Amino acid sequence: MKTIAPQMLKTPSNTSSERGIYWRGSCALTLLIMILSLILLGCKDDPVDTCPGLKTGSGSPYNSPIWHPMATFIGFNHVPLTRIELSYNGQCLTYVNYVTKNDSDGFWLVDSNSNNMTRSFNHELSNPNWSSDGQWIAFDLRAQIFKVRFSAPLIDLTTITQLTTQGSNFNPSWSPDDQWILFDKSLADSSGLSGVWIMKPDGSNKQRLFGGAFPTWFPDGNSVLGVIGSSPTSIWTKFVRYYLSQNHVNDTISAIVGNMNLNPMISPDGNKIAFWSRSASGVPQIWIMNVDGTNITQITSEGVGERFSWSPDSHKLVYVSYIYNDWTYSNGVLWTKDLLTGVRKQLTFNPTGSE
């Protein structure tokens, strides 16, 4: 167990006062001597076909929402957006710059009823996960697992503790009784093989459970869910249920065959699994199904970020409405959806562009 000074949380992306992310597109050509004329003509007449869409997006101003297990508020990472700058060559978009307020970024809280926002910590927390009592947050930083104490509404900087020191470790998940933390090791090293691991909250008693990633607990604490499998169109395709008392995988759940299926999240009542899924050519969405893999239902339609969270009563999901190549101010904000009524509610907002 290693206590970490707060300044170690700083990353290179937080060193400037304004961050811009730049992309450049170009028009495909066949004859070298006609490059300039074909670019200009193609961009005016057929910007979609002749000027391909930008290959990478900006990164969402809001990400990794996590519902507090004993309250109405939701934690999330946030880099406040000031404005979006776009430049064109004719009708071709050639330059995108997201101007942000980096002196205000960090881990924030939003009340799911009032929409009031509070900045809890001046650093983002990668893959945050609340302990079941809501008093600790586990997260990963620079491929290692950490924990920090949470005293609403603030994080206690003096309690930041490093729990892993070897390998590349991600996606921590507290057990229902807060006696264990799951995580995935993405690369084998001298400490052991890659896969889903478990450890005590002080970092002791590390054990490998099975090959896989993106682990999460069933509410009874007796089994965990992970992601395994490969296909021609995706890396992770199937979910598996591992029973701790039996020390092996019993159930395999196919999810959506052919899709990349990630981040399974079991509802607090233990009845449903929500997960992120994307086809090779499609927009990612959140789906839910019964814990046995039946009754698969699509929940979102607008495109979503990879991270989302259940409400404590299992009635709602919070997620980021996000499409990587959408450069409008409505993109990359938090929404909730009531699974009983179908009602969607926007929790957070970007500026309109005139602010």
pLDDT, tens digit (0-9, with 9 covering 90-100), for 154-213: 999 999 999 999 999 999 999 999 999 999 999 888 889 999 999 999 999 999 999 999
Which structural domain range is residue 100 located in?
A: 2-21+56-346
User: What's the pLDDT at 257?
Assistant: 84
> Looking at residues 107-116, what average pLDDT do you find?
96
| CB burial string 232-251: b at 16+ within 10 A, e below | eebebbbbbbbeeeeeebee
Residue 317 within a domain: yes
Residue from 167, 169, 163 nearest 3 by CA:
163
Task: Dihedral sign for Cα 19, 329, 300, 129, please.
Answer: positive
| CB burial string 6-29: b at 16+ within 10 A, e below | eeebeeeebeeeebeeebebebee
Residue 132 within a domain: yes
The Cα–Cα gap between 64 and 152 comes to 18
Instruction: Mention every residue, 6+ apart, whose C-beta is less than 8 A from residue 143.
Output: 167, 168, 169, 170, 186
How many CB atoms neighbour CB 46 within 10 A?
12
Instruction: Mention every residue, 6+ apart, whose C-beta is less than 8 A from residue 87.
Output: 93, 94, 95, 96
User: What's the pLDDT at 3?
Assistant: 54
The phi, psi pair for 42, rounded to 5°, reads -65, -40
Condensed to tens digits (0 to 9), the pLDDT of residues 45-78 reads 333 333 555 544 468 999 999 999 998 999 999 9
The amino acid occupying position 61 is P
User: What's the pLDDT at 5?
Assistant: 52
User: What's the pLDDT at 4?
Assistant: 55
- DSSP one-letter code for 69: T
User: What's the pLDDT at 353?
Assistant: 64
The phi, psi pair for 104, rounded to 5°, reads -120, 10
CA distances from 138 to 27, 65, 93, 151, 175 (A): 45, 14, 40, 14, 11
Print the SS3 string covering 15-33: CCCCCCCCCCCCCCCCCHH
User: What's the pLDDT at 233?
Assistant: 55
Query: Domain holding 281: CATH number?
Result: 2.120.10.30
Whether the predicted pLDDT of 324 surpasses 90: no
Whether the predicted pLDDT of 237 surpasses 50: yes
How many CB atoms neighbour CB 56 within 10 A?
11
The Cα–Cα gap between 40 and 327 comes to 23
Whether the predicted pLDDT of 80 surpasses 80: yes
Whether the predicted pLDDT of 234 surpasses 60: no
Residue 32 within a domain: no
Condensed to tens digits (0 to 9), the pLDDT of residues 244-282 reads 988 777 788 888 888 899 999 999 999 999 999 998 888
Q: How many domains does the chain have?
A: 1
User: What's the pLDDT at 17?
Assistant: 36
Q: Using pLDDT thresholds of 50, 70 and 90, give the confidence band for residue 285.
A: very high
Chain centre distance of CA 249: 26
Whether the predicted pLDDT of 33 surpasses 50: no
User: What's the pLDDT at 25?
Assistant: 38
User: What's the pLDDT at 154?
Assistant: 95
User: What's the pLDDT at 1?
Assistant: 59
Residue from 84, 82, 81 nearest 61 by CA:
81
Residue 50 within a domain: no
Residue 43 within a domain: no
Query: What are the DSSP calls for 166-223, one per residue?
Result: SS-EEEEEE-TTSS-EEEEE-S-BTTB-SEEEEE-TTS-S-EEEES-EEEEE-TTSSE
The phi, psi pair for 34, rounded to 5°, reads -115, 20
Whether the predicted pLDDT of 81 surpasses 70: yes
Contact (Cβ atoms closer than 8 angstroms) between residue 184 and residue 195: yes
Condensed to tens digits (0 to 9), the pLDDT of residues 5-28 reads 555 554 434 333 333 333 333 333
Whether the predicted pLDDT of 101 surpasses 70: yes
Residue 77 within a domain: yes
User: What's the pLDDT at 263?
Assistant: 96
Whole-prediction pTM value? 0.83
Residue with the two structure tokens 């700058």: 85
Residue 318 within a domain: yes
Residue 40 within a domain: no
Condensed to tens digits (0 to 9), the pLDDT of residues 119-153 reads 999 999 999 999 999 999 999 999 999 999 999 99
Tell the burial category of 342 from Cβ atoms under 10 Å away from its Cβ (0-12, 13-18, 19+): exposed
